[in-house]
Amino acid sequence: MDRLTRREMLKVTGAAALVGCGTAEPVDAPDGLEEDAAPDETFDASDLKFPEDVEVPTVDAGGPVDVGAPVDAGAPMDAGAPMDAGVPMDVGRDAGRDVPVAVDVRRDVPVVRDVGRDTGPPLRDAEFQDLPERPAQFPLGVMAGDAADTSLIFWTKYEGTAPLVLRVLEMDGGRIAALRFDGRVTPSGAGVVRVVVTGLRPNRLHRYAFLVAPSGTPNGRSLIGRARTAIADDSREPIVFAGTACTNQNHRPFPALVHAGSRTDLDFFIHAGDHVYTDHGSPSESIGEYRAKYAANWTSAGLRSLHRSTGMYLTWDDHEVRNNWDPESFPPARIAAARQAFFEHRATRRNPSAPDRIWRSFRWGRTAEVFILDCRSERRPSTRSNTPSRDSVYISRAQMDWLKSGLRTSPAAFKFIVNSVPIYERPGGVGSDNWIGYPSQRREILNHIANNNLRGVVWLSGDSHVGGVVRVDPSSTDAWEVLMGPGGADRRELPDVNRDRWPVYVGDRHNYTVFRADPSDRTLTVEYIDGSGSRIPGSLWSRRV
């Protein structure tokens, strides 16, 4: 059989996408919610079999820029620098309140495009840079996340009627290395698009956009996003990532996150919960009210910039439902609405056999495994106590057994546990909203780590509205927790801070946390960056774990 040209291949795969992307049968949801818990649309990019990379001459250096150079997070940075200097940053309608955002259109980095090896159209025709952005049709921006080594999930909210196409480009620095996916995708009844693309290559940076394509020809686009696939299973490369928690829409536009979204050196970003405060102002009760709270936050300059800048790993805490909500007594219809809104607004995969489950894990080679917990919806507050001998339920038995097994069998040097509410020892007892109020399970997981001599376990937490590095137990020298944020919430001061347990404490400003994990010597480096792009004094911490 003769080899297809790129033009013929695009026609074939495009046609396949058009006929093969029907929506699944609807799934009944409680209390009349129109929730679709069916598996997300999934496409295998490896079936496209595009030609491999070729080197071509550099084009005019005055063209648009996709900057791939690493950033020194310790040095002050321009908080307004765009993620991709060829694409002006959409700062949102509230950015003018207290953070100026400058657009730096640097002209000194050339962009090289792979023109391919066949007689079809050159890859430069796959570029979406010159298409006009349609912000009214993509009001909440774009997001990609839950990166595995060969797959990503892509997300947007679409308010148009024309057919919609997702295009994913694999990048090599500023050069388009390959067109990895280009096919029609199907919004839900609420306009949500959630697409899993498999068959990607490990440790590759991707640029993507959703394209408005009436009659099959794109004439507009969403924001342009970036996301990297995880490193290969056997890789031991260092990784750089960041995280935060607690972003109350009352603190928009989140200058610290505007800055985080301008970086190009992050492999991924973690948000540990309270991503939106659905109880801010009047508490949300219906799905429409939950969606409105998300829209208010997702249109902020900080979250729009952050969500498109790198792949995300996300969980929830209490404010996605209501402050300190009790799963045993909170109205089930409101929990269902909150959970639906959670998945509608995130690039977070749904487990095919348990679509409501939030806990999951992802591995970055032999460098790191990220365990993402759900510390809210499975707890039983009626079991809180001061007695470790009494069984308490903070997370379900299924989640606990999964976590213990995953930690024990993981080949990764670093095992990061994304834990929305801290586990370090602090006063609280039976009335505590955190692990301290559930002492049997706290003891169970910490004993499991200690008794199995599991190295490299680090807890990454939010909720407290402070940042810092703290020993999990006063007597422990090896168990550490890193509190991230707040990215934008009321700041607090903790009464029990001392330098013996807290080598780093940040309580006076909004921030995000940067992590550098080097498996060669098992060194973890942590620092906190404020809204100006500067490292917060005294926040640098480095240790072998």
User: Residue 178 sits in a domain of what CATH number?
Assistant: 2.60.40.380
- The pLDDT of residue 494 is 83
Task: Give how many domains the chain has, as a whole number.
Answer: 1
CA atoms of 531 and 534, how far apart (whole Å): 7
- The pLDDT of residue 48 is 58
φ, ψ for residue 64, nearest 5 deg: -70, 160
Q: Are 527 and 505 in contact (CB under 8 A)?
A: no
Examine the pLDDT at 336 and tell me if it is beyond 70. yes
φ, ψ for residue 419, nearest 5 deg: -130, 105
Is 141 part of a structural domain of the chain? yes
Which domain, by its residues, includes 186? 6-57+108-228
- Write out the two tokens for 265: 């050196």
Can you tell me the mean pLDDT for 426-453? Answer: 90
CA 324 to chain centre: 23
- When pLDDT is cut at 50, 70 and 90, the band that residue 12 belongs to is very low
- The pLDDT of residue 486 is 97
Can you tell me the mean pLDDT for 493-508? Answer: 87
CA atoms of 462 and 145, how far apart (whole Å): 19
Is 131 part of a structural domain of the chain? yes
- The pLDDT of residue 171 is 95
Is 278 part of a structural domain of the chain? no
Is 155 part of a structural domain of the chain? yes
Is 421 part of a structural domain of the chain? no
- The pLDDT of residue 426 is 84
Examine the pLDDT at 106 and tell me if it is beyond 90. no
Examine the pLDDT at 80 and tell me if it is beyond 80. no
User: Which residues are within 8 A (CB) of 233 and not within 5 positions of it... i.e. 6 or more apart?
Assistant: 149, 202, 363, 365, 366
Mean pLDDT score across all residues of the chain:
83
Q: Check residues 513 and 5 and name the one with the higher pLDDT.
A: 513
Is 210 part of a structural domain of the chain? yes
Q: Considering only CA atoms, which of 500, 441, 444 is closest in space to residue 475?
A: 500
Examine the pLDDT at 2 and tell me if it is beyond 60. no
CA end-to-end distance (rounded Å), the chain: 55
Instruction: Locate the DSSP E strands across 463-538.
Output: 467-471, 480-483, 504-506, 512-518, 523-529
- The pLDDT of residue 339 is 98
The winner for highest mean pLDDT among 94-108, 394-408, 483-497 is 394-408
Is 46 part of a structural domain of the chain? yes
CA 11 to chain centre: 33
Q: Which of 101-115, 204-218, 346-360, 487-501 is predicted least confidently?
A: 101-115
Is 545 part of a structural domain of the chain? no
**Is the dihedral angle over the CA atoms 263, 267, 272, 275 positive or is it negative?**
positive
- The pLDDT of residue 37 is 55
Can you tell me the mean pLDDT for 68-88? Answer: 35
